[in-house]
Structure 1
Amino acid sequence: MKRHAVLWSLIVLAVVMLAPFVIVALNALKTPAQYASDGPLALPSDITFQGVIDFWDRVGFGQKLLNSFIISGSVAVLAVVVSVLNAYALGIGRIRGRSWILIAFLVANTLPQEAMVYPLYFLAKETGLYDTQLSVIIIFTIIQAAFGTYLLSSTYAGFPHELLEAARIDGANKWQTLVRIVVPISRPTLGVLFVFSFIWTWNEFFLPLVLLISNDTQTVPVALGVLQGQRLMDATMTSASALLGVIPAIAFFLIFQRTLTRGITAGAVK
């Protein structure tokens, strides 16, 4: 009985979580006249993609989509690389002041973006990187790497010393030990970090809003927010914008779902 109760509870929870997405998808496939006459909860009598097409053309969604993929993908890859190098030095290398360095990374993760926006804006202006994707990539790589370093350093601290000692006996240097032993064994954890870094960067709005002002450099969340604030859109086009904004992140999550599940179930490195 308990299993059935838990199962039904999960089903109800899934329905509640999916209901807003389904409603948005249905409204995106309606015409403005259908939405006005039947309301937001009615099924579309005639399915049309005109709202999606109009929104895509109005914002140049293809370019915004490419910008978001470039920024999020670059940040995810670079954050994993930087996190591995930092965590290898802190967790396995056991450098001096390790605890204080980890505290600094932890504090960096708690800083609100509002407190960092002016210094980052000033630095981007002074270095000539303002309104470039490179500035956002550098900033979010550092932000995501701070979390990744804190996560991986605790994992690497419990890394089996027998493997490291065996590698030293076989003549492997520190770089070879990292590439051939540490990284392959910790691949599930790195996969989780990669997925989270991509999705978190994809959903970022505030800093890209400040640093990316040109239409050619803006990301999907910024384009959606700026457009809805400047121009009037009907309900169906607004639903289409919400649908197009969330579908790429969901698709990425589903593609890497196995990687995410494997990383979570793997737990710490044994």
Structure 2
Amino acid sequence: MTDVTQASAAPKRRKAKDDPTSRNKARPRTAAEWILMVLAVLGALVIIFPVLLLLMNAFKSPTDYANSSPLDFPEALDFTGIQTFWEQQNFPRALWNSIFISTLVAVFAVILSVLNSFAIGIGRVKGRTWIVLLFLMANLVPQEMLFDPLFQLYDDLGLLSNPWSVIITFTVIQAAFGTYLLSSLLGTFPKEILEAAAMDGATRWRSLRSVIVPVIKPTLSVLMVFFFIWTWNEFLLPLAFLNSPDSLTVPLILEQLNGERQTDTTTLVAGTLISIIPTIIFFLIFQRTLTRGITAGAVK
């Protein structure tokens, strides 16, 4: 009986010894791994530090803020700054404008990028390299150079103080980057897959919709997240095009809190804290999508 028990226990011991999970748990960390871990923690603290400053100062009263250091905790929680920013600056309206503009720009820019890159990368148009280079150069143009011509154009079209002026502008700007990125990606797309789809009777539109887009969907998800965040944080061109109070975005109403001679710091800090909450929520919702898009293709 004892021999049988020992014989049955031996394979279990060998299995536990051969288990890679157990080996990884038993292996001590190397010096390089500890250094990387320390650097990662320090990097996280550097990123979190501005948010902690906002949390520490957003709930201070003006008197408490004036008599204390920005690194000091508030003596008592005061919601005056948040209340003032929410009521006087019409934050709900600005929040809706930012969400509306950023969402449409992200969706339209991704669609336009896919169509452009399909023609360039899959269609193999003549002068493909020069066209891609042109899209790359479009991303290098400073926004200040676009200020005057676009302002006159939208003034003639009656689109000033209209969210569509910002939507059209940033759809084109973001799509230029998306086209440059996706053209390089689709240029290496396996021809065998497209030939098999064509033999099954798929048209070019069907191949794009049912074959290419599902394959590059993780990359498109990453582009959409970045386009949304980039458009949310835009300031210069929306400042030029959106002049009426009902058309302002979140960065623009924050700028209005900076007075020429005096600034309500507590209200500004509270407004900054409130303004970043939607982007944090958006990032948390699409965090898994973003991670999948970045690691797509790393393991076959």
Q: 2:119 is matched with which residue?
A: 89
Q: 2:14 is matched with which residue?
A: none
Matching residue's letter, 1:2: A
In 2, are the aligned partners of 1:75 and 1:197 still within 8 Å (CA)? yes
Q: 2:266 is matched with which residue?
A: 236
Matches of 2:171 and 2:141, distance apart in 1: 15
Which stretches in structure 2 are left out of the alignment for 5+ residues? 1-30
Count of residue pairs the alignment pairs up: 270
1:33 has 2:69 as partner: no
**Structure 1 outlier segments of 4+, above 2 Å:** 36-39, 229-235, 267-270
Q: 2:205 is matched with which residue?
A: 175
Q: How does 1:101-116 map to 2 (within 5 A)?
A: 101-116=131-146
Matches of 1:174 and 1:87, distance apart in 2: 13
Q: How does 1:212-231 map to 2 (within 5 A)?
A: 212-229=242-259
The alpha-carbon distance between structure 1 residues 163 and 55, as it changes in their structure 2 partners (threshold 3 A), is same
The structure number with the bigger radius of gyration is 2
Matches of 1:206 and 1:129, distance apart in 2: 17
In 2, are the aligned partners of 1:105 and 1:150 still within 8 Å (CA)? yes
Deviations 1:94-149 (A, max 9, x none): 11221121111111100000111111111101111111001110110000000000
Q: How does 1:55-66 map to 2 (within 5 A)?
A: 55-66=85-96
Q: 1:210 is matched with which residue?
A: 240
Which range is displaced more, 42-51 or 200-209? Answer: 42-51
Offset of 1:175 from its aligned partner? 0.4
In 2, are the aligned partners of 1:25 and 1:243 still within 8 Å (CA)? yes
Q: 1:123 is matched with which residue?
A: 153
Matches of 1:269 and 1:182, distance apart in 2: 19
Matches of 2:64 and 2:174, distance apart in 1: 44
Choose the corresponding residue for 1:15, options 35, 45, 49. 45
Matches of 2:208 and 2:242, distance apart in 1: 37
Higher RCO structure (Cα 8 Å, ≥6 apart): 1
Q: 2:17 is matched with which residue?
A: none
Choose the corresponding residue for 2:108, options 62, 78, 84. 78
In 1, are the aligned partners of 2:254 and 2:268 still within 8 Å (CA)? no
Matching residue's letter, 1:164: L
The alpha-carbon distance between structure 1 residues 231 and 64, as it changes in their structure 2 partners (threshold 3 A), is farther
Matching residue's letter, 2:258: Q
In 1, are the aligned partners of 2:222 and 2:290 still within 8 Å (CA)? yes
In 2, are the aligned partners of 1:155 and 1:269 still within 8 Å (CA)? no
Matching residue's letter, 2:215: I
The alpha-carbon distance between structure 1 residues 269 and 7, as it changes in their structure 2 partners (threshold 3 A), is closer
Q: Percent identity?
A: 51
In 2, are the aligned partners of 1:64 and 1:217 still within 8 Å (CA)? yes
In 1, are the aligned partners of 2:257 and 2:264 still within 8 Å (CA)? no
Scaled by the length of structure 1, the TM-score of the pair is 0.95
In 2, are the aligned partners of 1:87 and 1:152 still within 8 Å (CA)? yes
Q: 2:221 is matched with which residue?
A: 191
Offset of 1:230 from its aligned partner? 5.7
1:132 has 2:162 as partner: yes
Deviations 1:38-70 (A, max 9, x none): 322111232232211111111101100000000
1:257 has 2:287 as partner: yes
Matches of 2:146 and 2:298, distance apart in 1: 33
1:24 has 2:54 as partner: yes
Matching residue's letter, 1:154: S
